[in-house]
Amino acid sequence: MELKNFKWDQDADGIVTLVWDVPGRSMNVLTSTAIGELAQVTEKVVSDSTIKGLVITSGKTNGFCAGAALDEMEGNASSTGGKTASPQDALAARYNGVMQFHHVLRKLETCGKPVAAAINGLALGGGLEVTLACHYRVVADNPKIQLGLPEAKVGLLPGGGGTQRLPRLVGAMQALPLILQGQSVDPQKALALKLVHAVVPLNDVVTAAKNWIKGTPDSVQPWDKKEFKIPGGGPFSTGGSQVFTMGNSMLRKESYGNYPAQRFIMSCVYEGIQVPIDAGLRIEARYFVKLLQEPASRNMIRSLFLSMQDLGKGARRPQSEPRTEVKTLGVLGAGVMGGGIAYVSAAAGIDVVLVDATIEKANAGRDHAAQTIDKQIEKGRSTPEKKAEILGRIHPTADFADLKNVDFIIEAVFEDRAVKAEVTKKTEAVIGATTIFGSNTSTLPITGLAEASIRPESFIGVHFFSPVDRMGLVEIILGKKTGSHALAVAIDFVQKIRKTPIVVNDSRGFYTSRCFGTYTREGMAMLAEGIHPAMIENVGRMSGMPMGSLEVMDSVGVDTALKVTRQTKKDLGITGDDPAEDFLSWIVEKANRPGRKTGKGFYDYDAKGKRLRLWPELLAYKGGQWRTDADVGEMKERFLTIQALEAARCFEEGVITDPRDADVGAILGWGFAPFTGGPVSYIDTIGAAAFVARCDAFAARFGERFKPNALLRDMAAKGETFYSRFAPQKQAA
Amino acid sequence: MTDCYVYDTVRTPRGRGKKDGALHEVTALELASQALKALRDRNQLDTSKVDDVILGCVDPVGEQGSNIARIAVLDADYADSVAGVQINRFCASGLEACNMAAGQIMSGQSDMAIGGGVESMSRVGMGASGGAWSTDPQVAFKSYFTPQGIGADLIATLDGFSRDDVDAYAVESQKRAANAWAKGYFKNSVVPVKDILGQTMLDRDEHMRPDATMQSLASLKAAFEQLGDFAGFDAVAQQRYPQVEKLNHVHHAGNSSGIVDGAAAVLFGTKEAGDALGLKPRARVKGFASIGSEPCIMLTGPALVTEKLLKRAGMTKDDIDLFELNEAFASVVLRFMKVLGISHDKTNVNGGAIAMGHPLGATGAMILGTVLDELERRDQETALITLCVGAGMGTATIIERV
CATH number, domain of A90, equals 3.90.226.10
Mean pLDDT of chain A: 94
pTM, two decimals, is 0.93
Q: What pLDDT does residue A83 have? A: 60
Quick: pLDDT tens for A184-212. Answer: 999 999 999 999 999 999 999 999 999 99
Percentage of chain A with pLDDT > 90? 87
pLDDT, average across residues B256-260: 98
The dihedrals phi and psi of B325, each to the nearest 5 degrees, come to -115, 125
Residue of B nearest to A613 (CA): B245
Q: Is the pLDDT of residue B291 over 80?
A: yes
Q: In terms of residue numbers, what domain contains A475? A: 328-508
Q: Is A250 on the interface with B (CB under 8 A)?
A: yes
pLDDT level of residue A82 (50, 70, 90 thresholds): low
Count Cβ atoms within 10 A of the Cβ of residue A606 and give its class: 0-12 exposed, 13-18 middle, 19 or more buried: exposed
DSSP string of A270-315?
A: HHHTTS-HHHHHHHHHHHHHHHHTSHHHHHHIIIIIIIHHHHHTTT
The alpha-carbon radius of gyration of chain B (Å, integer) is: 20
Residues A339 and A381 in one domain: yes
A727 DSSP 8-state letter: P
Q: Is A241 on the interface with B (CB under 8 A)?
A: yes
Angle at B359 between CA B354 and CA B363, to 5 degrees: 80
Quick: pLDDT tens for A345-387. Answer: 999 999 999 999 999 999 999 999 999 999 999 988 899 999 9
Look at B134 and A244 and tell me if their CB atoms are within 8 Å: yes
Residues A434 and A475 in one domain: yes
Closest CA to A35 of A138, A161, A140: A161
Choose one of A471, A490, A508: the last residue of a domain.
Answer: A508
pLDDT, average across residues A60-77: 79
Choose one of A245, A272, A293: the last residue of a domain.
Answer: A293
Choose one of A460, A481, A508: the last residue of a domain.
Answer: A508
Look at A253 and B235 and tell me if their CB atoms are within 8 Å: yes
Residues A193 and A253 in one domain: yes
Q: What pLDDT does residue A441 have? A: 86
pLDDT, average across residues B368-372: 98
DSSP string of A104-137?
A: HHHHHHTSSS-EEEEE-SEEETHHHHHHHTSSEE
Angle at A631 between CA A630 and CA A634, to 5 degrees: 120
Residues A234 and A336 in one domain: no
Is position A691 within any domain? no
Overall domain count for chain A: 3
Q: Is the pLDDT of residue A81 over 60?
A: no
Is position A722 within any domain? no
Residues A367 and A450 in one domain: yes
Is position A441 within any domain? yes
Quick: pLDDT tens for B330-339. Answer: 999 999 999 9
Point out the residue among B145, B244, B246 whose CB comes nearest to the CB of A248. Answer: B145
Residues A269 and A122 in one domain: yes
Count of positions (residues) in chain A: 733
pLDDT level of residue A75 (50, 70, 90 thresholds): low
DSSP string of A333-351?
A: --SHHHHHHHHHHHHTT-E
Question: B interface toward A at CB cutoff 8 Å?
Answer: 127, 130, 134-138, 140-141, 144-146, 231-233, 235-236, 238-239, 242-246
Lowest average pLDDT, out of A60-64, A425-429, A571-575, B162-166, goes to A571-575
Q: Which of the residues B57, B98, B296, B388 is marked catalytic?
A: B388
Look at B137 and A270 and tell me if their CB atoms are within 8 Å: yes
Residue A383, SS3 per DSSP: coil
Query: Do the Cβ atoms of B91 and B365 come closer than 8 Å?
Result: no
Query: Do the Cβ atoms of B105 and B7 come closer than 8 Å?
Result: no
pLDDT level of residue A732 (50, 70, 90 thresholds): very low
Is position A60 within any domain? yes
CATH number, domain of A549, equals 1.10.1040.50
Is position A657 within any domain? no
Instruction: Tell me the chain A residues in contact with residue B244 when contact means C-beta distances shorter than 8 Å.
Output: 534, 538
Residues A118 and A263 in one domain: yes
Angle at A172 between CA A166 and CA A177, to 5 degrees: 85
pLDDT, average across residues A576-585: 86
Point out the residue among B232, B243, B245 whose CB comes nearest to the CB of A249. Answer: B232
Name residue B125's amino acid.
G
Residues A453 and A518 in one domain: no
The dihedrals phi and psi of B168, each to the nearest 5 degrees, come to -60, -40
Residues A251 and A334 in one domain: no
Residues A268 and A161 in one domain: yes
**Residue A642 CA: distances (Å) to CA of A256, A544, A630, B78:** 20, 14, 17, 71
Residues A229 and A273 in one domain: yes
Q: Is the pLDDT of residue A79 over 90?
A: no
| HSE value, Cβ hemisphere, 13 Å, CA-based, for A140 | 21
pLDDT level of residue A73 (50, 70, 90 thresholds): low
**Residue B274 CA: distances (Å) to CA of B283, B381, B387:** 12, 21, 29
Query: Do the Cβ atoms of A501 and A476 come closer than 8 Å?
Result: yes
Point out the residue among B144, B232, B238 whose CB comes nearest to the CB of A250. Answer: B232
**Residue A177 CA: distances (Å) to CA of A152, A183, A251:** 11, 8, 10
Percentage of chain B with pLDDT > 70? 100
Q: Give the DSSP H or E segment for B269.
A: strand B260-269
Residues A343 and A455 in one domain: yes
Q: What pLDDT does residue A471 have? A: 95
- State the catalytic residues of A: 463
pLDDT level of residue A573 (50, 70, 90 thresholds): confident
- For an interface test with A, the pick among B229, B239, B294 (most A C-beta atoms closer than 10 Å) comes out as B239
Position with higher pLDDT, A619 vs A728: A619
In DSSP terms, A54 is beta-bridged to A16, A115
Percentage of chain A with pLDDT > 70? 98
| HSE value, Cβ hemisphere, 13 Å, CA-based, for A275 | 14
Is position A721 within any domain? no
| HSE value, Cβ hemisphere, 13 Å, CA-based, for A251 | 33
Is there a catalytic annotation at residue B358? Answer: yes
Is position A729 within any domain? no
Q: Is the pLDDT of residue A594 over 70?
A: yes
Q: What pLDDT does residue A80 have? A: 47
Is position A651 within any domain? no
User: CA B82, B84, B89, B93: dihedral to nearest 10 degrees?
Assistant: 60
Count Cβ atoms within 10 A of the Cβ of residue B308 and give its class: 0-12 exposed, 13-18 middle, 19 or more buried: middle
Residue B331, SS3 per DSSP: helix
Q: Tell me the C-alpha distance between B207 and B358, whole Å.
A: 10
Q: Which of the residues B4, B57, B91, B296 is marked catalytic?
A: B91
Point out the residue among A252, A542, A619 whose CB comes nearest to the CB of B232. Answer: A252
pLDDT level of residue A71 (50, 70, 90 thresholds): confident
CATH number, domain of A361, equals 3.40.50.720
DSSP string of A129-177?
A: HHHHTSSEEEEES-TT--EE-GGGGGT---TTTHHHHHHHHH-HHHHHH
Q: Give the DSSP H or E segment for A688.
A: helix A688-702
Residue B309, SS3 per DSSP: helix
pLDDT, average across residues B22-43: 98
Q: Is the pLDDT of residue B214 over 70?
A: yes
Q: Give the DSSP H or E segment for A687.
A: none
Count of positions (residues) in chain B: 402
Quick: pLDDT tens for A267-289. Answer: 999 999 999 999 999 999 999 99
